[in-house]
Amino acid sequence: MAERSYTGAELEPQFDRSKLGKVLAEADVEITDEAALRYARTVGETNPRFSRPGPGLEVMPGMLIILDRPMDRVPVTFPFGKLAFPGGNTLEAYDLVRPGDILHIAVRLTEVYVKTGRAGPMGFVVHEKEYVRRRDGKLVARSKDTYLTRP
């Protein structure tokens, strides 16, 4: 079967380019003991650092990527797109987060691009988040959320 080829216009993502790189939404999220413990339980973590209530309790860094609440996302349409699905997550953690910390989270649309391979085109939409601790203004983490679109 001949491979379907796509023209330039079909590969051009449609979205509001003025939003690229701008803060789309911001929110303060307080990490509670309960939330930190509940997250650790759902991934089966028994390490006392993350599962024993008390002053030494640490937040599992992976919890940060589910803290973003219903934040704005820029709608992006790829003319060739039929299937859209999560493509991956990246987390960089710069400091320990503990229950009681209030994190200021800001989300930006940072990249929209198309790659074409043997299987045809694939559209990438990347939103990034920064997590700043209110108490000391420290950037404690950054994360990336990649969404893919395929024909």
Chain contacts with other proteins (rule: CB under 8 A): 35, 38-39, 41-47, 49-50, 60-63, 65-70, 85-94, 96
Minimal distance, residue 4 CB to other proteins, in Å: 18
Query: Please, what is the minimum distance in Å from the beta carbon of residue 73 to other proteins?
Result: 10
CB of residue 101 vs other proteins: minimum separation in angstroms? 16
Q: How far is the CB of 128 from other proteins (least distance, A)?
A: 13
**Residue 71 or 114 with smaller CB distance to other proteins:** 71
Q: What is the dihedral of CA 114, 67, 142, 87, to 10 degrees?
A: -30
Q: 12 or 30, CB closer to other proteins?
A: 30
Which of 4/41 has CB closer to other proteins?
41
For other proteins, the closer of residues 11 and 29 by Cβ is 29
